[in-house]
């Protein structure tokens, strides 16, 4: 049975989208989703580009609020920014919530997105595997 995981940040335009895409690409039997506590309504073009270069982009990825996916039964929720950690809602069932923070590359050049991609790949995937016993 697949495990459902939610990656949350503030704007859902960079870090959480990259996390969602990497988990969906790299981990078997896991379906990742992402959302923002205050979604920007767009995916940062640099985030999209770094995912395309690494074969992880899917046209279905978009910036969204938790309300769009609240009915999904999540096995794990991961906040990737301090603001999301502080404002993370309580989920209907006792969903495990952890924090794995990353600096926001949103206003930076493309190289910052490549670095963020690698940090998420190295740190977030490792933590998700440990938390889900994969």
Which residues have a catalytic role annotated?
9, 81, 88
The Cα 115–Cα 42 span in angstroms is: 21
The Cα 104–Cα 99 span in angstroms is: 15
In angstroms, what is the C-alpha Rg of the chain? 13
Task: List Cβ neighbours of 33 (8 Å cut-off, separation of 6 or more).
Answer: 4, 5, 6, 7, 20, 69, 72, 74
Which helix (H) or strand (E) covers residue 53, if one does? helix 45-53
Cα angle, residue 4 at apex, residues 113 and 85 outer, rounded to 5°: 55
């Amino acid at each position: 049975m697949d495990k459902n995981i939610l990656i949350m940040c503030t704007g859902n335009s960079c870090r959480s989208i990259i996390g969602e895409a990497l988990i969906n690409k790299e981990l078997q039997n896991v379906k990742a989703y992402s959302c923002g506590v205050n979604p920007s309504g767009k995916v940062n073009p640099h985030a999209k580009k770094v995912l395309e270069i690494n074969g992880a982009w899917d046209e279905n990825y978009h910036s969204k609020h938790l309300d769009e996916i609240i009915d999904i039964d999540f096995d794990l929720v991961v906040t990737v920014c301090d603001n999301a950690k502080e404002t993370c809602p309580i989920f209907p069932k006792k969903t495990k919530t952890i924090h794995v923070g990353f600096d926001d590359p949103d206003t930076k050049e493309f190289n910052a997105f490549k670095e963020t991609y690698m940090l998420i790949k190295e740190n977030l995937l490792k933590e998700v595997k440990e938390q889900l016993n994969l």
